[in-house]
Amino acid sequence: DAKTTQPNSMESNEEEPVHLPCNHSTISGTDYIHWYRQLPSQGPEYVIHGLTSNVNNRMASLAIAEDRKSSTLILHRATLRDAAVYYCILRDGSKVDSSYKLIFGSGTRLLVRP
Amino acid sequence: NAGVTQTPKFQVLKTGQSMTLQCAQDMNHEYMSWYRQDPGMGLRLIHYSVGAGITDQGEVPNGYNVSRSTTEDFPLRLLSAAPSQTSVYFCASRITLGSQPQHFGDGTRLSIL
C-alpha cells in the first residue's frame, strides 16, 4: 500500500483557514485520497475524498496536486470543534478486497486557539 | 438511524478472561471491520468481513476471533485476554459500491489487568 506523510501537529487560530498537507509520492493511478478526522474520545469521522480533481463539501475542500503526489485538506474557517487528529489515507480503488482496508498513519493533530 | 453501535463502552477484564465486543449497524452495509487504537497511535485493522459468512484477517488478528452470521452484527471475541490487548476498539461499516466512506462507532475502551 502506498504510504502518506503528514506533519505531527499544526496550530491555527479560530475562524482562520487551515491547510493540512499530505505527501504521497508513491501514489498509484487508482489510489483515492481519503481524509478522516478523529475528535477526542470519538471514532474517526469521514471528511472528504478525491481521485484527481479538487473536491468541496460542507466540511472542507480537498486540493490535489497535478502530479497527485501531494494533497491539502482545507478547512475554510476553523472552529474549536475542528480540533482533532486528521488522517490522510490512500485507498486502492482497483482491487475489491484491498479497497476496503483503511491503513491509518499517526495523522496530524490540529490545535485551534480561541 | 443509529449508524454503528458498539457495546459496551467501557470494560475491565482480568488476564485470561474471555469477552465479546458487540457491533451492530442498521445501514445494511455489507462491509464491516474491527480496529484497535493504542494510545497516541493510529488505528490498526484486526479483522474484516465483506458479507455474512465471510471474514478475513487484517494487520493484527492474533488473539481475536470474529464471525458474521448476519449483515447487521459483527462481534469480536477475545478468548483469553492479555494485558497487551488493552486498547480502544472501533467497529466500522460501509457499502461495497464505489469508494464510499466508512462509518465508525464510538469505540469500546477495554482495560485488561
pLDDT digits (tens, 9 = 90+) for A32-83: 899 999 998 899 999 999 999 999 999 899 999 999 999 999 999 999 999 9
* Contact criterion met (CB < 8 Å) for B104 and A43: yes
Q: How far is B17 from chain A (nearest CA, A)?
A: 26
Q: How far is B44 from chain A (nearest CA, A)?
A: 7
Q: Residue A2's pLDDT is what?
A: 65
Residue in B96, B101, B106 closest to A43 by CB: B106
Residue B14 φ/ψ, nearest 5 degrees: -95, 150
Q: Residue A96's pLDDT is what?
A: 60
Residues B75-105: tens digit of each pLDDT: 999 999 999 999 999 999 988 766 678 899 9
Residues B42-76: tens digit of each pLDDT: 889 999 998 999 999 998 999 999 999 999 999 99
Q: Residue A74's pLDDT is what?
A: 97
**pLDDT range class, residue A100, cuts 50, 70, 90:** low
* Contact criterion met (CB < 8 Å) for B42 and A49: no
Strands A9-13 vs A55-56: parallel, antiparallel or unpaired: unpaired
Find out whether B27 and B93 touch, Cβ atoms under 8 Å: yes
Pairwise CA distance, residues A100 & B109, whole Å: 24
Q: Residue A97's pLDDT is what?
A: 57
Contacts of A92 (CB under 8 A, 6+ apart): A1, A2, A28, A30, A31, A32, A98, A99
* Contact criterion met (CB < 8 Å) for B99 and A91: yes
Please state, rounded to an integer, the average pLDDT across all residues of chain A: 90
Cα-based distances in Å from A102 to A98, B35, B71, B93, B113:
9, 10, 20, 11, 30
Find out whether B21 and B109 touch, Cβ atoms under 8 Å: no
Average pLDDT for B8-35: 95
Judge whether residue A13 has pLDDT over 70. yes
Q: Residue A95's pLDDT is what?
A: 63
Average pLDDT for B11-19: 97
Pairwise CA distance, residues B6 & B51, whole Å: 19
